[in-house]
Structure formats: structure tokens, C-alpha cells
Amino acid sequence: MEKKPFVSLEQVKEMVKEYPTPFHLYDEKGIRENARRLKDAFSWNKGFKEYFAVKATPNPFILQILKEEGIGSDCSSYTELQMSEAVGFKGSDIMFSSNVTPREDFELAAKLGAIINFDDITHIDYFEKIAKIPETICCRYNPGGDFQIHNQIMDTPQDAKYGLTLAQMKEGFLKLKEKGAKHFGIHAFLASNTVTEAYYPLLAKILFQTAVELKRETGVHIAFINLSGGVGIPYTPDQEPNDIYAIGEGVRKAYEEVLVPEGMDDVAIFTELGRYMLAPYGCLISQAIHEKHIYKEYIGLDACAANLMRPAMYGSYHHITVLGKENESCDQMYDVTGGLCENNDKFAIDRMLPKIDIGDYVVIHDTGAHGFAMGYNYNGKLRSAEILLQEDGSTKLIRRAETPADYFATFDFSGMFQDVK
């Protein structure tokens, strides 16, 4: 499969007249269309709701687009709750899924009326000292062991810090029931970035069976099951994208097989997708500013790992397109690097690309989720702007680039930096 950017060289040349590289660019049209596909794929479930994982792309303009498409927000921190409130999310439109949670985070979540998703059984008593146990509540489940698909280990829940054991889920539900909770939710996340249509249906079946057991043993009303994230995207050109309609149908079959015979056909399905919702609809635009010829061939960009950490942190693959050279032969091998004083500051290693000349613009694909969000200021590097490519083809600045004044703003040296611009 060929990976094509959603932006052309001509468009980028116009953009850089106003916004210097590097910058993250988002495709509004693609975001909206994808949100509608997801909702359509799960339209068989009348209570279906997607709660976008704010941590993936914490930008209020992006959240506003999703809100207009009927999407909720999934928050994991105080500031994400604040951002969601500012955009206009209210009450059950917010899911609060956190861990090692500070008191003030729970206080704000309770104030906003968010659905609380407890990550640990001890959080029940902790929360009750802060606010009244709400009538609708959720607990995160960790089944332990290894999670396998077709005998392939996808992840190891037993090593994850998240969630309650099955015994704790039963104890927690009974405890919450005693404290006034009436409607219960189950949440679980067992594997990350799966490019297989089998993942969500298999996860769903596990959670549906767990829901039946919990209902039988505790007598509580299971109101919703949150399948969380894990539906991945094809970062590499040889991968096929997930078919969200096939995934939705697989979940429906598991629902009909497990829940309906138990009289649990009122259970709503929630999802918490960040990567699937946004990653393909964002990219990092950068310019080649240096080349180096030693033991290897290097191309140096004006972006670095401070703009996109995933390749340095995980060794992740992000496809690269050299704008204007899409049809040229990829007959040159490069390490594509940034300027951090770290040897892992590389967007690509031994990557076959067209010949890159100084001044060429490159698109680093699939940065719409966990791209800008993971940025940092090591080496005093400043985080870039975020730009929205709107449906009509115009652009909108949705986050300005940082300046040195931003970097120094948290110091108080009696005016030493007051003239820094």
C-alpha cells in the first residue's frame, strides 16, 4: 500500500510563508470522515459513544471538531479535564480514566460530573473522602496473564500497572453498590496499536463474559462496557488498515452471542480511541537543512525528537515522503536526523528515499496522535506550532510555536529574562 500525504508541495510552500517549519499539520476533512465511519460501524448499539483519548492530541481545536461530531472526551489528568471543560464537554460526555490519581484531579472530575473510572480498589475509599460516590461508576479490569490472538502474544496484562483483578472487581462493585452506585461500567485495555480486526471482538467477548459473571455474582446493573483503545493504524506501507466496519460487526456478533441471551441487551458500548481517530490525519512538516557524509549518509532536518519522540523512544517507524519527489526512485539510503545531542534523535535509520537536497520539504506521516503531545524541551528545544488544514483548503493556526520567552517563563530571576522575545 502506498502512503500518500494529505498535503502537496504547493500547499506547503504557501503555508511556510506564514508558518516556519517544523510544524504539525492536521487534516480536518479526514478527522471528520473517520469519526463518522466509527459511529456508523457501531450504530447497531444505540448507546454507543466514543470518548477520544485527549492525551493523544491535547488541542482544544481538535477536541471541538470531535465534539461537533458527537464524540466525548477521555481524560487522565487535571489539565485534560480543564481543556475538556473549556471546549464545552459536560457530565457524561467526559470519561475520567486515571491512575495514581491526585486528590485535586478527582475533585475536578466529580465537579464536572464526569464518569469516574477507578483504576484500583483502594481508590473507592480515597474518592469517597473527596466526593459522594456517583450513581454511575466504572472500574478498570486487568485479567492478568498474557493476551493472545491466534496464539501470538500481543501484550502482557499481568505486567501492567493498571486495573483491578476479577476478585477485586467483584468486591469493588459490591462496595460501590453499598455506597449508592446504581449503574456500573467495565473498562479494559489489553493491547496497543493492533493492526488486526480480531482484537476488538476478542477483547469484547472477554469483557462481555466478565460482565455476565459480575452481574450474576453481585446483582449490579451493567450499564456500559468500554473497550478502550488498541485499534491501531498502518504505520508502514506494507500494512493494511483496519476495517472499522468489520471490527464493529465482530463486536456485534460477540454482543449477540454473550450479552443478549443474558437479558443484557441494554449495555452500551464505549470506545476510547486516540491513535485510530487522529494519527493518520496529522503529519510533521519539516525541511532538510544539513547533509553529512561520513560512515553513513545523513540528512538533518529542522525538526528533532522534541517534535516527535516516538522513533527515538520506541524505535517506531514513521513513513517519510519527500514532497515534490513522490514519483522519483528511492535509491538513496539515509539516516534522517534532528539536532538533539542524542544519537537516538533519528526519524529514520537506513531508510531508502529519493535524493534529498537542502531545502526540500518532507512529510513525516501519522503524527496526529502521540506526536506533538509527547514533545519536550530537552536541549532547550522549543515545541512547534500546530496547524489545521481546514475542509475548504485554508489553514488555521491552532497552537503557536513556543518562543524562548515561553521556555524561561517559569523562572523568576528578578527580570533577568524580561527582554527575551
So which residues are the catalytic ones?
341
Looking at the DSSP bridge assignments, the partners of residue 288 are: 301
Instruction: Return the C-alpha cell found at 289.
Output: 537543512
**CA neighbor of 382 nearest in space, from 413, 366, 405:** 405
Cα–Cα distance between 275 and 369 in angstroms, integer? 5
Buried b (16+ CB within 10 A) or exposed e, 202-214: bbbbbbbebbbeb
Q: For the packed helices 103-112 and 78-87, what is the interaxial angle rounded to 10 degrees?
A: 20
Instruction: Return the C-alpha cell found at 266.
Output: 441494554
Please list, in sequence order, all residues whose beta carbon lies within 8 angstroms of the beta carbon of residue 306, skipping any fewer than 6 positions away: 338, 340, 375, 376, 377, 378, 379, 381, 382, 383
The position carrying cell 480514566 is 97
Question: How many angstroms from the chain centroid is the CA of residue 363?
Answer: 20
E strand segments, 20-77: 23-27, 49-53, 72-75
Contact 377/306 with Cβ under 8 angstroms?
Answer: yes
Instruction: Return the C-alpha cell found at 226.
Output: 468500554
Residue 217's identity, in one-letter code, is: E
DSSP H or E segment with residue 300: strand 297-301
Instruction: Return the C-alpha cell found at 33.
Output: 470522515
Looking at the DSSP bridge assignments, the partners of residue 149 are: 152
Buried b (16+ CB within 10 A) or exposed e, 265-304: eebebbbbbbbbbbbbbbbbbbbbeeeeeeeeeebbbbbb
Separation of first and last alpha carbons in the chain: 46
